[in-house]
């Protein structure tokens, strides 16, 4: 039976932690009871440098019931980093992991479907929100605008998917290969590959406490998403440079005609030409330099160029494992971990 680990980043969540732990435990017990996951499954809270009683509470939970685990970060590093810390910590022990928020805004009823999809062979299952009618108008429009903007800027996100998702162990191992510091999980996970699926769920309001994602953090997050994923903004500068330069050539003809016909004051032609041509050239030059910076930037991420899903018939010793249909490496990984 596969071990399911739930990973929950928490930042100043003392108001919700008790209730969240209770509800998740109920969910987990039910899953174990009907034989969907192993009895050695865990609920792991990641404390992201909270300033309240979050960590002591996690310790108490763990002392009272070994189903609860905890990871304590040295300081606050933000939701994405806290989540990654949790995922990378449990990766050695779990067969499959589901990440979710401490406030249980994401309907935990969907967990059954996540597990179902995993057992059908999916390595990644994305939780996708059904509707946003429970969000304020402001949050809804900004969030939807965000997905559209991201797509326009070249990062292919799963629409209306936040960080509520299931990942198998090998998907986590794939994730571990990404060497970048500016982490934007939502953009990276689809790059891993492997069979994936989506599950729709209803998103509720926070049942207690307040959002740790004020507008300022949301904007920073969007900017981070765009700049850590694409060099499209640079491309736009290059295109603009090209366009302006082309326009300047047309203008050149116009200026010269005016000049030849003598319908102008002395000096005007030179200045007019300089403004247009030099302006266009400068923008173009900046764009070209930007292209190189963009390349360097992408290189420094040292992302994996590929992740091999399966290789067969490579090694004579392993021939017993090879050639059989199915998801061989993952299955080996899972049974070895039992």
Q: Which residues bind ligand UDP (CB under 6 A)?
A: 9-11, 13, 48, 76, 78-79, 82, 101-103, 105, 211-213
Give me the DSSP letters along 130-195. Answer: S--TTS-HHHHHHHHHHHHHHHHTT--PPTTEEEEEEEEHHHHHHHHT---SS--HHHHHHHH-SS
Shortest separation between residue 248's beta carbon and ligand UDP, angstroms: 46
- Which of 136, 144, 132, 194 is closest to 165 using CA atoms? 194
Task: Return all residues near 39 (Cβ < 8 A) that are at least 6 apart.
Answer: 1, 32
State the DSSP code for 329: H
Name the residue nearer to ligand UDP (CB basis): 105 or 238. 105
Q: How far is the CB of 209 from Mg ion (least distance, A)?
A: 9
Q: Which does 102 bind (CB under 5 to 8 A by kind): Mg ion, ligand UDP, none?
A: ligand UDP
Could you tell me the smallest distance in angstroms from the CB atom of residue 101 to Mg ion?
5
Residues lying near Mg ion in the complex (CB under 5 A): 101, 103, 105
Decide whether 102 or 199 has the Cβ nearer to ligand UDP: 102
Which does residue 9 touch among Mg ion, ligand UDP, none (CB within 5 to 8 A, set by kind)?
Answer: ligand UDP
Pull the structure tokens for residue 333: 């990984």
CB of 184 to ligand UDP, least distance (A): 15
- Give whichever of 8 and 96 is closer to ligand UDP, judged by the CB atom: 8
Distance of closest approach, residue 160 Cβ to ligand UDP, in angstroms: 13
Do 164 and 102 touch, CB atoms closer than 8 A? Answer: no
Closer to ligand UDP by Cβ: residue 105 or 198: 105
81, interface contact from ligand UDP, Mg ion, none, CB < 5-8 Å by kind? none
> Cβ(19)–Cβ(207) under 8 Å?
yes
- Contact criterion met (CB below 8 Å) for 147 and 159: yes
């Amino acid at each position: 039976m596969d071990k399911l680990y739930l990973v929950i980043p928490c930042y100043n969540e003392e108001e919700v932690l008790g209730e969240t732990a209770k509800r998740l435990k109920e969910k987990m017990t039910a899953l174990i009871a009907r034989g969907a996951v192993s009895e050695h499954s865990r609920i792991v809270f990641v404390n992201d440098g909270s300033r309240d009683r979050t960590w002591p509470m996690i310790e108490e939970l763990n002392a009272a019931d070994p189903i609860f685990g905890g990871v304590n970060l040295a300081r606050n590093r933000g939701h994405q980093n806290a989540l990654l810390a949790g995922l990378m910590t449990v990766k050695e022990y779990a067969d499959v992991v589901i990440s979710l928020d401490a406030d249980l805004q994401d309907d935990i009823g969907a967990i059954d479907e996540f597990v179902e999809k995993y057992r059908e062979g999916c390595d990644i299952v994305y939780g996708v929100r059904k509707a946003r009618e429970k969000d304020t108008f402001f949050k809804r429009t900004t969030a939807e605008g965000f997905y559209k903007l991201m797509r326009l800027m070249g990062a292919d996100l799963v629409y209306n998917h936040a960080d509520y998702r299931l990942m198998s162990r090998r998907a986590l191992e794939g994730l571990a290969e990404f060497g970048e510091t500016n982490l934007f999980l939502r953009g990276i996970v689809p790059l891993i590959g492997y069979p994936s699926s989506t599950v729709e769920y209803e998103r509720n309001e926070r049942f207690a406490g307040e959002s740790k994602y004020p507008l300022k953090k949301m904007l920073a997050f969007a900017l981070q998403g765009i700049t850590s994923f694409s060099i499209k903004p640079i491309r736009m500068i290059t295109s603009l440079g090209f366009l302006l330069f082309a326009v300047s050539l047309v203008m050149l003809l116009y200026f010269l005609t005016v000049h030849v016909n003598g319908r102008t004051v002395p000096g005007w032609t030179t200045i007019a030409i300089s403004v247009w041509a030099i302006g266009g050239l400068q923008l173009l030059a900046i764009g070209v330099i930007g292209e190189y910076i963009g390349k360097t930037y992408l290189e420094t991420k040292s992302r994996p160029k590929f992740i091999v899903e399966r290789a067969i018939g490579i090694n004579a010793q392993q021939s017993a494992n090879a050639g059989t249909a199915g998801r061989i490496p993952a299955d080996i990984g899972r049974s070895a971990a039992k």
